[in-house]
């Protein structure tokens, strides 16, 4: 039995949120708007935005503490029927199936909340096996492997494209 819940973000407890987000393995696997080091100022700005209805963001709460984040971000222009899924979890809680279940819960919420959205996409780095496995277990299909499309921390990375359709 997994003891976690997805709940809306609040602006309280930014210090604990900073502690988890400042783990270098978090920023190393995400896009650059989540920096390392991650400061209280970064957390305050994030939490303010995270309370808006769009992007649809949820805090992953374990034992009353926010230990991770998951969100659906609308794409624009020709991609406007797509949303991008992003997530991270504090190191102490990994490997227990929490993110697989969080993805399983958020995806139907996203399709229900945004009726125009036909496809939810996630793009882990080629080396991010944990993220790829969580996506596969949650029902995503690997659509493409793009080689050397990304640069993270000065290193060229592969981009694997996973998606689930309505």
44-52, 82-90, 106-114, 141-149 -> range binding ligand COA (CB under 6 A): 82-90
Closest to ligand COA by CB, 5 or 116:
5
Closest to ligand COA by CB, 47 or 90:
90
Provide the b/e sequence for 98-119 (b: ≥16 CB within 10 Å).
Answer: bbbbbbeebbeebbeebeebee
Backbone angles phi, psi at 70, to 5 degrees: -145, 140
User: SS3 sequence, 23-56?
Assistant: CHHHHCCCCCCCCCCCCHHHHHHHHHHHCCCCCE
Question: Cα–Cα distance between 101 and 79 in angstroms, integer?
Answer: 26
Closest to ligand COA by CB, 46 or 87:
87
DSSP state of 125: B
Residues 91-150 that bind ligand COA (CB under 6 A): 94-100, 124, 128-131, 133-134
Closest to ligand COA by CB, 47 or 131:
131
Closest to ligand COA by CB, 46 or 88:
88
Site track for ligand COA across 20-39, x = CB under 6 A: -----xx--xx---------
Site membership for ligand COA, residue 2 (CB under 6 A): no
Q: Which DSSP helix (H) or strand (E) runs through 14?
A: helix 14-21
Q: Which residues bind ligand COA (CB under 6 A)?
A: 25-26, 29-30, 87-89, 94-100, 124, 128-131, 133-134
């Amino acid at each position: 039995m997994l003891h976690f819940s997805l709940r809306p973000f609040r602006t309280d407890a930014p210090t604990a949120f900073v502690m988890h987000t400042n783990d270098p393995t978090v920023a190393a696997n995400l896009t650059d708007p989540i920096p390392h080091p991650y400061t209280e100022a970064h957390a305050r700005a994030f939490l303010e935005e995270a309370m808006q209805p769009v992007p649809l963001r949820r805090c992953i709460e374990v034992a009353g503490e926010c230990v991770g984040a998951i969100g659906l971000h609308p794409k624009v222009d020709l991609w406007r029927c797509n949303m991008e899924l992003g997530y991270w979890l504090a190191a102490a809680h990994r490997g227990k199936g929490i993110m697989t279940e969080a993805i399983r819960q958020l995806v139907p919420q996203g399709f229900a909340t945004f009726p125009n959205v036909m496809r939810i996409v996630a793009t882990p780095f080629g080396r991010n096996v944990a993220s790829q496995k969580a996506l596969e277990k949650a029902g995503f299909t690997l659509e493409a492997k793009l080689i050397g499309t990304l640069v993270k921390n000065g290193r060229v990375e592969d981009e694997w494209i996973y998606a689930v359709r309505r």
